[in-house]
Amino acid sequence: MTDLPDMPLHERICVVTGGTRGIGLATAHALAAAGATVVLTGRDEAVAKERAAEVASEHGTRAAGHGVDITDTAAVRALFASVAREHGTVDCLVANAGVLEDALIGMIRDDLVDRMLGTNVAGTLACLQAAARVMMRKRRGAIVLLASIVGERGNAGQSAYAASKGAVAALAKSAAKELGPHGIRVNAVAPGVIRTDMIAHLPDDVIAERVGATPLGRVGTADEVARVIRFLCGPDADFVTGQILGVDGGLVL
pLDDT band at 4 (very low <50, low <70, confident <90, very high): low
List, for residues 53-65, the tens digit of each pLDDT value: 999 999 999 999 9
- Report whether 9 contacts 92 (CB < 8 A): yes
Least confident interval from 17-21, 53-57, 150-154: 150-154
- Biggest CA-to-CA distance, the chain: 56
Instruction: Please count the other Cβ atoms lying within 10 Å of the Cβ belonging to residue 2.
Output: 7
- CATH class assigned to 13-242: alpha beta
Catalytic site positions: 161
Q: Kindly state the average pLDDT of the residues 17-41.
A: 97
Distance (Å) of CA 147 to CA 161, 162, 207: 10, 9, 20
Q: Give the pTM.
A: 0.94
Q: Where are the domains of the chain?
A: 13-242
List, for residues 123-132, the tens digit of each pLDDT value: 999 999 999 9
Burial label for 85, CB within 10 Å (0-12, 13-18, 19+), is exposed
List, for residues 34-79, the tens digit of each pLDDT value: 999 999 999 999 999 999 999 999 999 999 999 999 999 999 999 9
Quick one: how far is CA 188 from the chain centroid? 8
